[in-house]
Structures are given as structure tokens and as C-alpha cells.
Amino acid sequence: MLQAIGLTSAPRRDLPPAVDDLTFEARPGQLTALLGAPGSGRTTALRLMLELEPGRGVTYFRGRPLHELAHPAHEVGTLLGDVPGHPARTVRGQLKLMCAVAGVPVSRAEEMLEVVGLSGLADQRLGTLSLGMDRRLGLAAALLGDPHTLLLDEPAEGLSPRENAWLHGLLRGHAEHGGTVLCTFADPKEAARLADRVVTIDGGRLVADQDAGEFARTRLRPRVAVVTPHAARLGALVSREARAAHRSVEVVAEDGNHLSVYGSSCAEIGETAFRNGVLLHQLADEIGDTGPSVTVPPQERTSPPPGSHPPPLTRRPTRAPLRPLRYELRRFLGVRTTFLLAAGVLALSSFLAVLLARSGHTPQPRLLAAWPGLLPLPPAALGAGLFGALAFGDEYRYPALAADRGTVPRRLGLLGAKLVVTAAAALVIAALAVAVDYEALRLVYGAGVTGQPQEWLGLSAGWAGLTVGCAWAGLLAAGIFRATTAGLAAVLAVPVVVVPLLKKAVDGRSVRSVAGLPDRLRDLAWVRWPHALDHWLIAVLHLVAEPVGAALALSLTVLICAYLVTGLRARARW
């Protein structure tokens, strides 16, 4: 059972709260409609239940609030608006991504594709889906965790009658299996036709909480819908005959040639039209809205227990994926951008390497890295930085984690997964760039141009450190500023801004040396490491001593601190 008690949104400037002391229940085994006109607070009420909006009140899902549920996706399935995700990702890829978020087996994605009828469109891109297919995908994502409760905001909006009937059957089946279904509606007729219980709100306040049959009797009334090219004449005839017979009949002129007649029947309207020679294009019985909302007696309303005080409802951060590494791998490999970017980096790197080799004056390490003096960074390092920037930048642009669009959790597990995946991608692109450049040089100029450089081990470590550092700088900056361009700007700022500043700060002759540092560190350490590791330690020190290495280390330290500070500030606001 879903119990919403005292839901009240945070007050708005010079305006009443969008939701004001809203209390109702949605029972298991039933489809409950939350009915209200646009602007009545329906969506805000759902967001308050999901703790996506600040305010007051509490919502219990089978006796427990959402923030106390260990795995919310197994208890609550939601559909708020469109499905957030990269438009180039496939339907199957998006559902597999959401499986990692919910912590369910990936086979669940294929099952849900069958349930919602998207098996034939599993390889379709999200950006090409119609509104109906997007709604089906949203329902599949909501059902991934096999939740007991479904919270759906206007799930039938924009659907065809056939798709609407399919949706009703799916939701009805979920309710018949003991689940709780709460949907928002704007059309009273649709709510009365589909729901078992109708909760009506207006201005954020509860107006009525009724059984669907009672709602239809008190809120809706029968009418005769007429379409005729002589609407004004027929309306006058029906009104005159009703006055003559002392019957209460109301004729309402709709748009165009439509009439709505209340208090009469199809037979009476048809006979009037036949007697007076009026042509009819349509004559049908319908259910119409009475207009103003009706108020239920106080004893029929659901209210919080006497003396209870709904607690403050704070906006809580979105939960990170339950399987962050698997999620990040699928996010990284699920779009064509990754492979197109890698191919572009390798092509540019090999082209620059061939051009640099023409002069014969470029040092071999820079030749294999395709790093001209005119460029601040080689193509592989720039590509690794862009990989890192996209890791968080696309997350904010196409959020796949949150029902609240645009919210990405700053959890250490998700950050760690992104750091691992971007570091691996940077190392792969660095190794491939050197291999492709080597083969391109051999192909164009012969084997005499290439060879194994001296101190290749230290150079390899420096190359790996440069690419991984660029990837992490782009990742952290994009996470702080929530934009891909900010991540790429941070990568370029290292050689363009930070390196010259460091050179200027340390400019001058050194009077002291750090020689013997490994031995002094061994004396301080509790564990005696082998002397063979001294070589690696000295190589690391040489890397850090280089201007680019020192600038990267400094930049990463600042970015990590800034990321942690912004994460703590975000939690404090929540």
C-alpha cells in the first residue's frame, strides 16, 4: 500500500505551494488515478513522494519511506516524462544500462522488451523512437526491478487508442497480481474508464477521494454528441421542444459543427432532426465532464492521524548504480562516439607522425607520440582528455541515472568506476597510437626510421602518465562544472596555463638535490621494499619533476579537492 501523508511542497515566492497538505492512499490490487487539471500539482505530488522535491510530509511504500529502502528499484518503478538517455544509444543498450543501475541481471532487459512489445525495435536508437515507443521503453525501465508500486506521470499522453488500450491492459495486469499502480490523469473520462479509484486534486489540495463508480455518478454525466452542418438551427429546435415539453435540456455549442446536449437521448435528438429535415453527420452517447470539481464530505476524506506532524521532506541525492563498473562500461561502449573518437585520434596521430618524420629533426619519442612543438598536447592525450570529459559531461546532458532529469549522483563508487574506465581507455588509446604511428612510419619511410628508443621504460611510464592524467583532468572538471567543454578546457589549461606558471615559479638554479631519497624513504618505512623498486621510484620522481608532469599532478590535486567540496556542498543542500 502507498500512503501519502501531509505532502506539502516548499513555498514559492508570492505564490501558494504547488501541493498543500495532500493526504491519500493507493491500495494494492487497484489502479488509482491522481486527477487534476494542468497546474494542479499532480507532477509535484509524485516528485514529493519520490523525495525529488523539498517540502514536508511523508510517503510510505508498504510501511517504509523511500530513503529507508535498500533497493528502491525493487519496490518503486517510476515514469516521469521522457526516458533520459543518449539519443545514439540503442533500446537494448539503454535497458542494459538501467539493469546495472537497478542491480538486476542483464537478462531482465530482454524479458522487459518482450513484455512491452519492443523486441523488434531492440536495436533502434533512442533518438528515432516515436512517443508511443518512448512510453513503452519508459515502462520497461520502470518494471526492470519487478517493483510492487508503479508511479506514472501521464503515461497515456499522446498515445493512440490502440496503444492506450495496451497500456491499460499492462497496468491492469500489474494491479491484478497484487501491485499498486498510481497514475496521473488530466481527463476525467479517461480516469473514470481506467481507474478503480480516483483522487481529485485542485490547486494542490485534495478535493475528492472516491471509488471510480461514485466518481462517475457525481462528477460525470451522460450527453449526446452531435455533428451537423446546421448546428445552430438544430440547437434552437432542441431547446424550443424541451421548453414546450417542460424538460430540462442543456445545449452547448462546441467548436465547429459540434453540439453537446445534456438531459436528452440519441432517439429524441434524431427524431427532432428528422422532423425538421436537419442533416446529421454523427449522433452518439458520451460521458461528459460536469466542469467544477465536487467536494467530498469531510468524513470521506483521508486525513493524517490526530496529533501527527508530517516531517520535513528534504530533496535527497539520486542513488548511484548498484553495479557502477558494469554501468560505466556499458555507458562508455554503448554509443558510436567512443569508437569514432578513437578512430579519429589514431588517424590524426599517424598523419602527424608521418609529417614530423619528413624533417628528420624530431626526437624519436616525440615522433612516436606524434607531438609537434606547435601543439600543447599530442592527439592521444587530447583524445584521452575528451574521453574523460564525455564521461561526466554526457551524463549531465543525457542522464541515465535519475528520474529527476539532470541529476547525477556524486558517489565515490560511481567516481571510482569512471576513473578506472577512463584510465583504461587512455592506456589503450596511448598504446594504439604508438603502434599505429610506428607502422605508419615503417610503411612510408621504411624500417630505418623507427627503432627502440633509449630509456624506453621511463618514456613508456611518462606516456602512460600523461594520457591517464589528461583523462582524469577532463573527467573531474566535467564533474565539477557539469559540461564536456569545461573538461576539455581543463585538459588544455595544463600545458597552456599551468606549465608556464610553474616554470616561472621554479625558474632559477637549484642549490639542493634530492639524491638518495629512496634510501631515506626506506629508512622511514615500516616495510622494506626490494632495491629493484628504487628504479621505478626514481622514474616516478623524474616524471613529477617534469613541467607537464608537475602541472598535471597539481591540476589533479586541485580538481579532486574541488570535486569533493562541490559534492559535500550538494549533500548539505539536500
Tell me the pLDDT of the chain averaged across its residues: 86
Please write the tens of the pLDDT for every residue from 537-551.
Answer: 555 555 555 677 778
Residue pointed to by grid coordinates 491519500 = 24
Select from 317, 308, 302 the least CA-distant residue to 66. Answer: 317
Report, as an integer, the average pLDDT of 283-292. Answer: 68
Residue pointed to by grid coordinates 461528459 = 288
pLDDT over threshold 80, residue 57: yes
pLDDT over threshold 80, residue 269: yes
Q: Residue 29 region, left (φ>0) first, then alpha (ψ -120 to 50), else beta?
A: left
pLDDT over threshold 60, residue 536: no
| Secondary structure (3-state) at 33 | strand
**pTM of structure:** 0.79
Residues 6, 55: Cα–Cα separation, whole Å? 10
Residues 307, 310: Cα–Cα separation, whole Å? 10
Q: What integer pLDDT is reported at residue 263 of this predicted model?
A: 85
pLDDT over threshold 90, residue 315: no
Percent of the chain with pLDDT over 70: 85
- Among the residue ranges 184-188, 400-404, 423-427, the one predicted with the least confidence is 400-404
Report, as an integer, the average pLDDT of 286-308. Answer: 50
356 vs 537, more confident: 356
Please write the tens of the pLDDT for every residue from 144-173.
Answer: 999 999 999 999 887 888 888 999 999 999
pLDDT over threshold 70, residue 508: no
Report, as an integer, the average pLDDT of 65-92. Answer: 90
Q: What integer pLDDT is reported at residue 500 of this predicted model?
A: 83
If you ran DSSP here, which 8-state letter would residue 494 be given? I
Select from 91, 162, 83 the least CA-distant residue to 120. Answer: 91
| DSSP-assigned letters across all residues of 302-340 | --PPTT--PPEEPPPPPPPPSSHHHHHHHHHHSSHHHHH
Residues 95, 73: Cα–Cα separation, whole Å? 14
pLDDT over threshold 90, residue 21: yes
C-beta separation of 248 from 220 below 8 A: no
Taking the CA atoms of 337, 338, 341 and 344 in sequence, report the sign of the dihedral they define. Answer: negative
69 vs 457, more confident: 69
pLDDT over threshold 70, residue 574: no
Q: What integer pLDDT is reported at residue 422 of this predicted model?
A: 97
Q: What integer pLDDT is reported at residue 19 of this predicted model?
A: 95
- Among the residue ranges 48-52, 122-126, 291-295, 380-384, the one predicted with the least confidence is 291-295
Q: What integer pLDDT is reported at residue 302 of this predicted model?
A: 45
Q: What integer pLDDT is reported at residue 543 of this predicted model?
A: 53
Q: Which residues of 376-394 are buried (b: 16+ CB within 10 A; e: fewer)?
A: bbbbbbbbbbbbbbbbbbb
C-beta separation of 488 from 389 below 8 A: yes
| Secondary structure (3-state) at 132 | helix
Out of 10-14, 100-104, 547-551, the most confident range is 100-104
Please write the tens of the pLDDT for every residue from 201-247.
Answer: 999 999 999 999 888 877 787 888 899 999 999 999 999 999 998 88
Assigned CATH topology for domain 2-207: Rossmann fold (3.40.50)
Distances (CA, A) of 100 to 73, 113, 149, 329: 11, 16, 20, 10
User: What is the side-by-side strand order in the sheet with 258-262?
Assistant: 250-253, 258-262, 220-227, 282-289
Residue 338 confidence class, pLDDT cut points 50, 70, 90: very high
Please write the tens of the pLDDT for every residue from 469-491.
Answer: 999 999 999 999 999 999 999 99
- Domain ranges, ordered by start, for the chain: 2-207, 229-280, 324-573
Residue 285 confidence class, pLDDT cut points 50, 70, 90: confident
Backbone angles phi, psi at 2, to 5 degrees: -105, 125
Q: What integer pLDDT is reported at residue 300 of this predicted model?
A: 44
Select from 360, 364, 369 the least CA-distant residue to 430. Answer: 369
pLDDT over threshold 50, residue 297: no
Q: What integer pLDDT is reported at residue 460 of this predicted model?
A: 86
- Amino acid sitting at position 44: T
Distances (CA, A) of 303 to 5, 195, 205, 310, 468: 7, 22, 12, 12, 58
Residues 19, 44: Cα–Cα separation, whole Å? 7
Cβ count within 10 A of residue 214 = 14
Cell of 342: 578513437
Q: What integer pLDDT is reported at residue 86 of this predicted model?
A: 92
C-beta separation of 495 from 385 below 8 A: no
Q: What integer pLDDT is reported at residue 361 of this predicted model?
A: 80
- Among the residue ranges 88-102, 207-221, 425-439, 466-480, the one predicted with the least confidence is 207-221
| DSSP-assigned letters across all residues of 153-209 | ESTTTT--HHHHHHHHHHHHHHHHTT-EEEEEES-HHHHHHH-SEEEEEETTEEEEE
pLDDT over threshold 90, residue 507: no
Residue pointed to by grid coordinates 445545449 = 251
